[in-house]
Amino acid sequence: MQESLDAIGEALDENGKVVVTGCLGVKHDLIKSTHPKVLAITGPHDTPAVMNAVHQHLPKPHDPYTDLIGVKLTPPHYAYLKISEGCNHRCTFCIIPSMRGDLVSRPIAEVMQEAENLVKAGVKELLVISQDTSAYGVDVKYRIGFVRGRPTKTRMTELCRSLGELGAWVRLHYVYPYPHVDEVIPLMAEGRILPYLDVPFQHASPRILRLMKRPASAEKVLERIRGWRAVCPEITIRSTFIVGFPGETEAEFSQLLAFLEEAQLDRVGCFAYSPVEGAAANALPDAVPQAIKEERRARFMALQERISAAKLKAKIGRTLKVLVDEPGVGRSSADAPEIDGVVKFRGGKAGELRDVLIERADAHDLFGRLQ
Ligand code: SF4
């Protein structure tokens, strides 16, 4: 919570015009009292309220293109595609289900229509998001909808197959390693969707995962990862982890480091556990002192940097397809916007798909030449 309030303060200092939206928006009074200058505060998933606030403070330009398809808050060549809202899990560190409720999947026909409209409007990359992408359709018992006249189940595999026919990059986020995730890996190997899987593992110690009430257990995760790589050697696996969860011992943290070493994940985010107001984990005993949490985070990230640097170095000499975000900067299949590294080069225009010969790498980014 404090981190979010600090981020609002930083944004106010930098730009002076700030609209707060998302989960934190439900803490209206706290935000208003801490930062009276914010222009508006909206709850999660309330695009109309955000846009109203934006239009109140900035004149609304007439643009027949955005007026027709709704406002996209991302650059025009990529777009987030939200396939469901809410979550059936109850991870003890998370308050999303208490704010957004249980999983509600959008009908597959509606999702596909939106995706098609976006691609027709020039979007080159669709980023599939939700709270739990692999659970898509569970709430509607995988109901059949019609996609271009074809009966299609409201289910992740079928969605990926349909999205893969649109000719845009398709990138999957927030996929839990349920068994049926294995079904989408061949689609990645065949080049229908990007060979990229964002799987939030959060920890590797079975005891900590139980305390977290995570939907998937640590058992067999390494085996699954090996299986995915055997089917699709190009796959980029991204994950996030929490260190310093209440009760985490040094031995359990070491277990996490050993997992990381073994799993050789491509991209990793790591958070030092911080209690969220209203989360069940706050009641757990044996909070880890802040200094130890930070120290563990630093050790974790040092190991990941080493893994990442080696993985990126192995790409030197290869030619990668890159989607240009702005002149000089783009992303390959291994890089999601905002959270992963980038590929840097001279030239290019936003929205172009170009080949880049990789000449150099550091721990996070690649550097090369447009072909
Ligand atoms: S962290 Fe757990 S409870 Fe929260 S949205 Fe993700 S799966 Fe659901």
Helices 290-313 and 250-263, packing angle to 10 deg: 10
Angle at Cα 189 formed by Cα 313 and Cα 121, nearest 5°?
A: 95
Return the pLDDT at 220. 85
Residue 207 and residue 21: Cα distance in Å, rounded?
34
pLDDT digits 0-9 by tens, 226-235: 999 999 999 9
Which range is least confidently modeled, 44-48, 112-116, 214-218, 256-260? 44-48
Q: Between β-strands 343-344 and 366-370, what pairing exists: parallel, antiparallel or unpaired?
A: parallel
Return the pLDDT at 295. 98
| Sign of torsion over alpha carbons 362, 364, 369, 371 | positive
Count the Cβ atoms, other than its own, within 10 Å of residue 35.
16
Alpha helices per DSSP H over the chain: 2-15, 28-34, 47-57, 64-69, 96-100, 108-120, 156-163, 185-189, 206-212, 221-231, 250-263, 290-313
* Tokens (6 digits) for 245: 């969860």
Does residue 365 register a pLDDT over 70? yes
Does residue 197 register a pLDDT over 80? yes
Q: How many residues does the chain have?
A: 371
Does residue 348 register a pLDDT over 80? yes
Are the C-beta atoms of 334 and 364 separated by less than 8 Å? no
Return the pLDDT at 234. 96
Q: Which atom of ligand 1 is found nearest the CA of 88?
A: 8
Residue 77 and residue 342: Cα distance in Å, rounded?
16
Which range is least confidently modeled, 83-97, 216-230, 271-285? 216-230
Protein residue with its CA nearest to atom 5 in ligand 1: 131
CA of 347 to the centre of ligand 1 (A): 41
Give the residues surrounding ligand 1 with Cβ less than 6 Å away.
87, 89-91, 94, 96-97, 131-132, 215
Which range is least confidently modeled, 8-17, 49-58, 148-157, 176-185? 49-58
**Span 130-155, mean pLDDT?**
96
pLDDT digits 0-9 by tens, 280-335: 999 999 999 999 999 999 999 999 999 999 999 999 999 999 999 999 999 999 99
| Torsions phi, psi for 320 (to 5 deg) | -110, 145
Per-residue confidence band for 252, with pLDDT thresholds at 50, 70 and 90: very high
Does residue 127 register a pLDDT over 50? yes
Are the C-beta atoms of 104 and 114 separated by less than 8 Å? no
CA of 317 to the centre of ligand 1 (A): 40
Residue 243 and residue 265: Cα distance in Å, rounded?
16
Residue 17 and residue 146: Cα distance in Å, rounded?
43
Does residue 354 register a pLDDT over 70? yes
Return the pLDDT at 69. 41
Return the pLDDT at 75. 78
CA of 80 to the centre of ligand 1 (A): 19
CA of 278 to the centre of ligand 1 (A): 14
Alpha helices per DSSP H over 80-107: 96-100
Protein residue with its CA nearest to atom 6 in ligand 1: 131
Residue 214 and residue 97: Cα distance in Å, rounded?
13
Q: Which atom of ligand 1 is found nearest the CA of 93?
A: 1
Return the pLDDT at 7. 58
Residue 114 and residue 230: Cα distance in Å, rounded?
33
pLDDT digits 0-9 by tens, 23-72: 555 565 656 666 666 666 665 545 445 544 544 554 444 333 333 344 44
Q: Which atom of ligand 1 is found nearest the CA of 90?
A: 3
Protein residue with its CA nearest to atom 4 in ligand 1: 94
Instruction: Collect all residues with Cβ–Cβ distance below 8 Å to 109 and sequence separation of at least 6.
Output: 145, 146, 147, 152
